[in-house]
Amino acid sequence: MLFNSHEFAVLFLVTAILYYLPPLRKLQPGILLISSFIFYSHHNPMLLALLMFSIVCNALGSYAILRYPLQKARWLTLIAVSVNIGILGAFKYAGLLARTLWGETADGNQLGHFLVTIPLPLGISFFTFQGISLLIDCFRSRESDQLERKIACLHEIHHSGFWRFSLDTALYIAFFPQLVAGPIVKARDFYFQIQPKYFSRIPWDHVFRFVVLGYFLKMVVADNLKDRTYYLTYPLFLELDWMTLLSLLLGYSMQIFSDFAGYSAIAIGLSSFFGYVIPVNFRKPYIAQSFADFWSRWHISLSTWLKEYLYFGLGGNRKGAVRTYLNLFLVMFLGGLWHGASWNYAFWGIFHGLALATERALRGSRPDDSPKLVVAVLRTLFVFAFVTHAWLFFILKDFNQYTAFWKAMFSGNENPNFVWIAYVLIYSVPIALYHLKDLVWDSIPSRAKALVEPAVFGAMIWLIIFNSGSAGEFIYFQF
């Protein structure tokens, strides 16, 4: 179900009314859970069974981890995490294995053909990672004297009984604002928030800002750009000139940011409406001055998850320089595969892994200095150009298409489509302003801010109503 669909508007309205009715306050988690199941099953009702299976496995596993002796809990954690990885592997990567072994459709092999036809459930990467977070955090809570008090609360929650703990777990995994495309929420940051919510405590300003910004980024910027960036797909780009190709690649870079950051902003706003705080997922990534800086700004919930549960688990930077570079490369390679069961996503991860490892080797672990303005601008442009180039692996399905793109760039075609170029630049301007806002905002007098800000949000609402592009799924739904 799309956030910008009429069906979602009805679901949200009914849920909001029931959720904040005083007589139903004790039923709030159940109301959100039912709405979440309706939201998820709208795409394919059969796949709701997989979500519920994941919930049951993680509820049983985490509850047992909290109750069994520490040594048994360690084995239970390993088994339960393996079950999650197995579910993800079976539904997301079995087809990749079959295509690699037996060809694109695997028609000549009965098993391979079956594996290729397994459907990809919406959001499986997101809710699987949340389940793994729950299991690991529950195990860590057994040593809560060394950890945050929020993790210790998981150890306390299970004393309320299995059914209450299971309901809380179901809500944590299935919470519809961020179910299918994040942000990925860690268990220790969610469970303690499950308590009665009151209509009078809704942070309306916060909700309004994130929801309007999110719908603007998605419906006005991303949905308008997608009708042009579609021509980057193979073989459509073969007849285009280098200038048009570069502009469309710039447009896709702006589109994928607007699409994903828009979803995350809507999710944050809707969560706040229901009384839940989920993490910010983007922090102006296109002004990053290094690749490490970029990954502290882009899809923050995934990069922090990979860092905490995978990079540190592999040893982080504690086992020497070579091992550090290898760990960075491996984490990004797996992060690329997380995005999709196709080798083009692995190539994307390899590009970023090599960039992070090389940067680390050249600069070491010392913190960034404060470069002069010209150097800072050049660094930012270099990182942006690299990141934008790497998005080609999100569009093109294999390395042959990637090489075909660069052949088209140097084919000698000299007929630029200035209408398309202008179109991309126009819809890229809001993203550039969004990233550069902080450079000038603090210097604006308070009285001027009080006039400018309402005008900007008013313009965004007007554009959402009158200048939205054709509706389309969020890009990260496929992951």
Find the largest Cα–Cα distance for the chain: 71
Cβ neighbours of 45 (radius 10 Å): 11
Q: Tell me, yes or no, if 339 is annotated catalytic.
A: yes
Which pLDDT band holds residue 367 (cuts at 50, 70, 90)?
A: low
Q: Tell me how far apart the alpha carbons of residues 134 and 418 are, in angstroms, rounded to a whole number.
A: 51
- Which residue, among 92, 161, 141, 96, has the nearest Cα to 120 in the 3D structure? 92
Residue 175 has pLDDT above 60, yes or no: yes
In this structure, what is the dihedral angle of CA atoms 351, 353, 358, 361, given to the nearest 10 degrees?
180
Among 61-70, 75-84, 425-434, which is the least confidently predicted range?
61-70
Q: Tell me how far apart the alpha carbons of residues 429 and 119 are, in angstroms, rounded to a whole number.
A: 38
Residue 329 has pLDDT above 60, yes or no: yes
Among 17-21, 148-152, 217-221, which is the least confidently predicted range?
148-152
pLDDT tens digits, one per residue of 22-52: 999 999 999 999 999 999 998 788 889 999 9
Identify each DSSP E strand in 145-257 by its residue range: none
Mean pLDDT, range 278-293, rounded to an integer:
95
pLDDT tens digits, one per residue of 102-161: 766 667 777 777 777 777 888 899 999 999 999 998 888 876 654 455 555 665 665 667
C-alpha distance across the termini of the chain, in Å: 15
Higher pLDDT, 325 or 267: 267
Among 84-93, 316-325, 332-341, which is the least confidently predicted range?
316-325
Q: Tell me how far apart the alpha carbons of residues 387 and 184 are, in angstroms, rounded to a whole number.
A: 22
CA Rg, the chain, in Å?
A: 23
Q: Is 245 helix (H, G, I), strand (E, B) or coil?
A: helix
The pTM (predicted TM-score) of the whole model is 0.92
Among 145-154, 400-409, 421-430, which is the least confidently predicted range?
145-154
Higher pLDDT, 389 or 157: 389
Mean pLDDT, range 250-258, rounded to an integer:
96
| Alpha helices, DSSP H, located in 230-342 | 242-273, 291-295, 300-306, 321-339
Higher pLDDT, 411 or 63: 63
Higher pLDDT, 25 or 99: 25
Q: What confidence score (pLDDT) does residue 456 get?
A: 92
Residue 271 and residue 178 in contact, taking contact as beta carbons nearer than 8 Å:
yes
Name the average pLDDT for the chain.
Answer: 89
Task: Write out the DSSP string of 67-105.
Answer: HS-HHHHHHHHHHHHHHHHHHHIIIIIHHHHHHHHH-SS
- Identified catalytic residue from 339, 352, 389, 435: 339
Q: What confidence score (pLDDT) does residue 153 get?
A: 63
Higher pLDDT, 155 or 197: 197
Q: What confidence score (pLDDT) does residue 96 get?
A: 76
The dihedrals phi and psi of 290, each to the nearest 5 degrees, come to: -155, 165
Cβ neighbours of 185 (radius 10 Å): 26
Residue 366 has pLDDT above 80, yes or no: no
Q: What confidence score (pLDDT) does residue 121 get?
A: 85
Q: Which of 1-15, 86-100, 112-126, 277-291 has the highest mean pLDDT?
A: 277-291
Mean pLDDT, range 195-202, rounded to an integer:
95
pLDDT tens digits, one per residue of 439-454: 777 677 777 778 888 9
Which pLDDT band holds residue 369 (cuts at 50, 70, 90)?
A: low
Cα three-residue angle 393-225-122, rounded to 5 degrees: 60
Q: Is 405 helix (H, G, I), strand (E, B) or coil?
A: helix
Residue 65 has pLDDT above 80, yes or no: yes
